[in-house]
Every structure is written in C-alpha cells, then in structure tokens.
Amino acid sequence: MSDTGGQTPHVLIVEGRFYDHIADRLLAGAKAVLEAHGATFEVVTVPGALEIPTAIALADASERFDAFVALGCVIRGETAHYDIVAGESARGLVALGIDRGCPIGNGILTVDTEAQALVRADPTGKDKGGDAARAALRLMQLAETFLVDG
C-alpha cells in the first residue's frame, strides 16, 4: 500500500466478470462512491471470483494503490463448486487484509439466485459495489491513522 500523505487516494477495482450483467452493476456502484469521495481508480478484470485475491496480491506488490475493491458474484449451483469458490475467494481476501495490511472492500456477492444478486448489485438497491468501495476507503483511512499515530 502506498502512503497517500493526505493526497488523493488511488484505488484498484478488481472485478470478476463471470456474470457480466451483475458485474456492470457492482462496478457502477463502486465507481460512483469513489468519484464522490474524490478518489482516482483503475479497473482490472479477471475471469471470476477465485482470481480476485491473486490479482490484488500482484497489484499490492506494485505499491501503486492505496486500497482495493473486490467485485464479483458467486451463485449457488448444483455442485460443491459454489462452496469452494465462495469460501476460498473470501479466505484469500481476508488473508491479504490481515497478513499484508491491504485495505480491501469485499464486494463479492455469494447468493442462492440470480435475482438475489441483481438486487444486491443494483446501485439504486442494496448497492453492494458502493458498500465495498466505502469499506475500502474506510480501511485505508484506518491504515493511515495507525501508521501516522503508530
């Protein structure tokens, strides 16, 4: 993570595009929040939720970003694949947050149905993309507070 020193925060949004129509909504919500807070951002895409933690780890090593927003969707299916993808993507993000101190807002939806995902992704609905951006910015603020005061 870079030190913003009171400068404009620069955020990386990593979006899993497995469900494009859901990802579009999550991304719209995250962008709106970052723009409203005056943050600059870049967006990279990966195939799905499982690749998001790796992309964030690679980007974190560059020290170009102050915070990260993880966006994606995992919809329960007929096999155990849902449990693996949902659990391992969350575990990867938590590990990055704890082990490396990455401020990450987790906007990876884990739902039973597409209808649930659409409601949660809608920027005028539950706006989980926007929530993830807000979480990333708040964690970034906390990191700066602890680094400056520590």
- Specify the pTM: 0.93
pLDDT value, residue 1: 47
- Domain chopping of the chain, boundaries: 10-149
Extract the residue ranges of the chain whose pLDDT is less than 50. 1-3, 150
Cβ contacts of 4 within 8 Å, gap of 6 or more = 10, 66, 140, 144
Angle at 76 between CA 71 and CA 77, to 5 degrees: 130
Is 132 in contact with 30 (CB distance < 8 Å)?
Answer: yes
CATH class of the domain comprising 10-149: alpha beta
Residue 108: how many other CB atoms lie within 10 Å: 25
* Residue 81 is a catalytic residue: yes
| Span 23-32, pLDDT tens digits | 999 999 999 9
Q: Which of 10, 21, 37, 81 is catalytic?
A: 81
* Rounded distance between C-alpha atoms, residue 90 and residue 53, angstroms: 8
